[in-house]
Amino acid sequence: MRDQKRIVLDANILLRAVFGVRVRSLLEAHEDSVSFYAPDICFADARKYIPSISEKRRIDPEPGIQVLEQLSRLIEVVDRTLYEEFEVSARERMISRDENDWPIVATSLLLKCPVWTEDRDFFGSGISTWTTETVDLYLRA
């Protein structure tokens, strides 16, 4: 029996799942065959940005908050105590990029799996990355 695939989601992917259809449909389509993870900070970031994005779109933020809560049933939230041992290595990989993204890299290092992101700062960090455009290839392979 093969190990189940794993992938770490960036906060921007969580927000795309909240406000769009494609990411949420990919998560739902592969929930039985792929384990999805996101560091706790990504859920906190998404929660923080939902009101401002909703305001720009002139929509009520409450449904977005509810969708994010529903996503936590599909995506395992990884606590900082689990990934913090990889902080130094993760920060080194992101030093010339956005060092604030270190928890995503650290979670990827912890779980030995790629990152699903639209953020180009991860490219060249030595972490395998997938974008929404191509992630289906990884998820169904």
Enter the CATH code of domain 5-140: 3.40.50.1010
**Quick check: 47 and 53 in contact, CB under 8 A?**
no
Q: Which helix (H) or strand (E) holds 109?
A: helix 102-111
The model's pLDDT over 63-114, given as tens digits with 9 standing for 90+, comes to 999 999 999 999 999 999 999 999 999 999 998 888 889 999 999 999 999 9
Domain residue ranges of the chain, discontinuous segments joined by +:
5-140
In angstroms, what is the C-alpha Rg of the chain? 15
Give the tens place of pLDDT for each residue, 34-74: 999 999 999 999 999 999 999 999 999 999 999 999 999 99
pLDDT at 98: 83
For 101, other C-beta atoms within 10 Å of its C-beta total 25
Query: How large a percentage of the chain has pLDDT more than 90?
Result: 86
**Start-to-end CA span in the chain (Å):** 15
Give residue 1's pLDDT: 35
